[in-house]
């Protein structure tokens, strides 16, 4: 079982770099899963840890847990009160505008009411590949810095689908033709969505802390191949 990369650890919380494809915890839909991040981390640290937030299974990046129930409750309250700054990197189809905001309500579950969902973004880089995927002789893609203000189910993936810039590697809300291009041309068989940084008040001191999860080797290789920023958190604008 692969050891998780710990990017922050103190007396109140632990932050790890979640690899793509790993469940955070067992769910009703994945009740037979034997390997999930929560279990790995408990074994690795030799103690219980408590869930604060989550990332979708295919998403990689920084994930925070409380080391006691009280710390987890305080951290969770910061998320609910929107005292948390989240920064993601995403690769999407097409050329994005320089900056944008998607304000489009979403349902967390099919039978639940629509709830406010807001995602800001900035286009960091663009590329045009000499490959015909549809009726055009070339294919265009953008690297986005994504700054969600809310945290709805699949929010980033659904919002970029809504504005006709689906994420590459998204098998639920994306486009298969573009996913296949990245698999064939770059060997990328994953969702290109990475939680690169998280800022929040410390549950004991209320001092602001920033935690980063450097992109993994495959992400860095792709960024270098496309001559894009994003292979180091320090290179990404705040």
- Sign of the Cα pseudo-torsion (16, 159, 236, 207, in order): negative
Q: How far, in Å, CA of 198 to CA of 236, rounded?
A: 13
Of 87, 188, 198, 86, residue with least CA distance to 141: 188
Q: How far, in Å, CA of 132 to CA of 177, rounded?
A: 10
Number of H helices, E strands in the chain: 5, 10
Q: Which residues contact 197 (CB under 8 A, 6 or more apart)?
A: 62, 85, 86, 87, 210, 211, 212, 213, 233, 236
Pairing outcome for strands 193-201 and 60-66 = parallel
Tokens for 65? Answer: 């847990």
Q: How far, in Å, CA of 45 to CA of 22, rounded?
A: 18
The string of DSSP codes covering 69-124 is HHHHHHHHHHHHTT--EEEEEEEEES---SEEEEE--B-SSTTSPPB--EEEEEEE
**Catalytic sites, residue numbers:** 56
């Amino acid at each position: 079982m692969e050891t998780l990369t710990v990017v922050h650890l103190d007396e109140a919380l632990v932050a790890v770099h979640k690899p793509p494809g790993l469940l955070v915890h067992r769910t009703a839909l994945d009740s037979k899963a034997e390997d999930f991040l929560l279990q790995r981390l408990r074994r690795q640290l030799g103690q219980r840890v408590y869930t604060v937030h989550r990332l979708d299974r295919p998403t990689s990046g920084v994930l925070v847990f409380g080391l006691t129930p009280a710390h987890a409750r305080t951290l969770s309250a910061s998320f609910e009160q929107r005292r948390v700054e989240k920064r993601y990197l995403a690769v999407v189809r097409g050329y994005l505008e320089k900056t944008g905001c998607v304000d489009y309500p979403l349902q967390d579950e099919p039978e639940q009411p629509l709830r406010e969902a807001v995602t800001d973004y900035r286009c960091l880089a663009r590329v045009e590949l000499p490959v015909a995927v549809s009726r055009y002789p070339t294919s265009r893609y953008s690297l986005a810095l994504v700054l969600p203000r809310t945290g709805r189910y699949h929010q980033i993936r659904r919002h970029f689908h809504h504005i006709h810039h689906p994420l590459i590697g998204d098998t639920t809300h994306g486009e298969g033709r573009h996913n296949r291009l990245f698999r064939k041309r770059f060997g990328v068989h994953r969702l290109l969505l990475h939680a690169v940084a998280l800022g929040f008040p410390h549950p004991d001191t209320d001092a602001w802390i920033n935690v980063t999860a450097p992109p993994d080797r495959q992400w860095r290789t792709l960024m270098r191949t496309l001559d894009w920023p994003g292979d180091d958190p320090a290179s990404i604008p705040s």
